[in-house]
Amino acid sequence: MSTALPGRRVIAVTASAAALIAASALATPAGAADAAAANTDKVLVIGIDGAVLDRVKAANAPHLKGLMAQGLTARSTLYANPMAATSSGPGWSTIATGVWPDKHGVKDNSFSGKNYAAHPDFLTRIENAKPELNTYAAADWEPVTSTDAGGPIFSAKVDKRLSLKGDRDGYGSEDPKIAAAAAAELQGHNPDAAFVYLGEIDIAGHSYGAASQQYLDAIGRVDKLIGQVLTAVQNRPAYAQENWKILVTTDHGHTNSGGHGGSTIQERGTFVIAKGAGIAAGSVRDDVKLVDVAATALAQVGVSTAPLDGVPLNAPDSDPFDTLRPNLQARVDETGIPAGTKGFTRTPPAGWSVDNSRMGTGGVTEWAGWAFATDEFWSQAQRDQWRELNVRSRDVFAVADSDEWDDKSHTGGFDSTLITPKWAVTGGTTRNLTFQTHYRHEAGQSAQVLVSYNGAAPTVVKSYTADAVARAESLNLQVPAGATDVQVRFRYSGDNNWYWTVDNVRLG
């Protein structure tokens, strides 16, 4: 770690604001590492606990709205139990590590099962890869930067970790101290990668609910602190020569009446706001996930993102299913999905097809064979049946759901096949078929991946006989001699069983 460099010290304290700001001001002697550092690519991640994007938009929050106007706004949704609760421990661990709870191991605020050794935070990854870079983290929820209460999420390898103890009554006074210390560090020293946490919004949500004026007021106060931190960055002497990427995110949402931890779309709601080179002003995306924050931070300073679940924000998205978003429709037969949520179509993208020749008739219209849907739409069809765990699908994905289809009378069973375009191949080679899948198994249903070369009869290359939850699949295809094209089929059959989703299908 960086402590071997001349003039560098690690600060990890829980103390008064005065001590923290003094530590920040004195930690790096003048003319030492700050002067030596020449890196101009820098990243700042600001975490605001329990913030609801729609309420941010409704609040007096000029700094957050300015970032949205100057950059990207991306809604996202979380998991729910049994993968993890929609609470801060799993949320901040997901943001920091860039992997989902099934990897980092934090399922609730007890931090039982945490696996940060295998999946460290992005600042620690930076220290491991480029120890010459300066890293910084400041927070007043103790597990973020302190060993108390199950943490730290950001490890002792981080060059400077500032920690204050927030509580139900204290975030209103502690957040300004964190902002002041972070501003002093960002303006007066030379951090290359920083994380700053502010907690007051979450407390207002618990105390008054996300629909309250008090919640809006808390957003306004935190926005002023964010402005203080952003101003410190802009006032850096070398700012004009630096390439900063700024990200703002949250760990979970809140219900209108207050609270989180459950599986409602309000509790699962999160967002990423980002500004920097390569990010179009005023842009909006639907394919961004919380795990992308760490990946973006690492890419910004030239550190590998492997083996993260996240991808950098500037990574291209070429999934054909996502092209269907403008054509998505509102519910037809479903009753649990809000009427205004447009999130499904049964029309495949160009080049793809759905074979429903074996499908029964009737059933719920939305799921009469393979359909294409968003998480916000599909997971609300029926909560707490693991649909919320489909975290590795992005934006629009393909779904076959015999369970929901069966909720309306029908004749016959569910049997539908999703068919890819024909892809060119060379005989005698090996090609890699990859896709994201989320499959819940029950006796009586069948899920198969089949391939066909040059129009020959399809053969099975993969059968699912047990749950395959939120998984990245990779299948090696041995292309026979003489083959010039391959077509892949995903066949699902069942009758009031469970479901299968497929996304981002690629032949590599």
Output the domain CATH number for residue 453.
Answer: 2.60.120.260
Asked if residue 25 belongs to a domain, the reply is no
| Same domain membership, residue 287 and residue 151 | yes
Asked if residue 444 belongs to a domain, the reply is yes
| Same domain membership, residue 150 and residue 59 | yes
pLDDT in tens, 291-341: 999 999 999 999 999 999 999 999 877 899 999 999 999 999 999 999 999
pLDDT in tens, 207-260: 999 999 999 999 999 999 999 999 999 999 999 999 999 999 999 999 999 999
Domain end among 300, 332, 365: 300
- The pLDDT of residue 2 is 35
- The pLDDT of residue 38 is 61
369 phi-psi bin (left φ>0, alpha ψ -120 to 50, beta other): left
| Same domain membership, residue 326 and residue 207 | no
Which residue matches tokens 């070429």?
318
| Same domain membership, residue 218 and residue 154 | yes
Asked if residue 353 belongs to a domain, the reply is yes
- The pLDDT of residue 273 is 98
Q: Within 10 A of 240 (CB to CB), how many other CB atoms are there?
A: 7
Has this prediction a pTM greater than 0.85?
A: yes
Contact, 215 vs 156, CB < 8 A? no
| Same domain membership, residue 214 and residue 356 | no
User: Domain range spanning residue 423?
Assistant: 320-507
Q: Which two tokens stand for residue 357?
A: 């020749």
| Same domain membership, residue 344 and residue 224 | no
Q: Which amino acid is at 304?
A: S
Contact, 502 vs 418, CB < 8 A? yes
Q: Which residues of 105-138 are buried (b: 16+ CB within 10 A; e: fewer)?
A: bbbbbebeebebeebbbbbbbbbeebbebbbbbb
Alpha-carbon distances, residue 392 vs 262, 330, 449 (angstroms): 19, 24, 19
- The pLDDT of residue 167 is 63
- The pLDDT of residue 171 is 86
| Same domain membership, residue 155 and residue 87 | yes
In total, the chain counts a number of residues equal to 508
Asked if residue 186 belongs to a domain, the reply is yes
376, β-bridge pairs? none
Q: Would you list the DSSP string of 1-68? A: -GGGSTT---EEEE--HHHHHHHHHHSS-TTSHHHH----EEEEEEEETT--HHHHHHSS-HHHHHHH
Q: How far apart are CA 380 and CA 366, in angstroms?
A: 13
**3-class state of residue 320 by DSSP:** helix
147, β-bridge pairs? none
**3-class state of residue 188 by DSSP:** helix
| Same domain membership, residue 358 and residue 251 | no
Q: Which residues of the chain have pLDDT under 70?
A: 1-38, 148-149, 167-169
Q: How far apart are CA 289 and CA 311, in angstroms?
A: 9
Q: Which two tokens stand for residue 66?
A: 């300015």
Q: Which residues 6+ apart lie within 8 Å of 507 measured at CB?
A: 423, 425, 431, 432, 433, 477, 486, 488
Asked if residue 28 belongs to a domain, the reply is no
| Same domain membership, residue 118 and residue 203 | yes
Asked if residue 310 belongs to a domain, the reply is no
Output the domain CATH number for residue 96.
Answer: 3.40.720.10
| Same domain membership, residue 84 and residue 145 | yes
Phi, psi angles (nearest 5°) of residue 85 = -75, 155
Q: Which two tokens stand for residue 360?
A: 């029964």
| Same domain membership, residue 330 and residue 263 | no
Which residue matches tokens 């700001």?
21
Domain total in the chain: 2
| Same domain membership, residue 327 and residue 291 | no
Asked if residue 2 belongs to a domain, the reply is no
Phi, psi angles (nearest 5°) of residue 390 = -80, 55
From the number of C-beta atoms within 10 Å of its C-beta (0-12, 13-18, 19+), residue 98 rates as buried
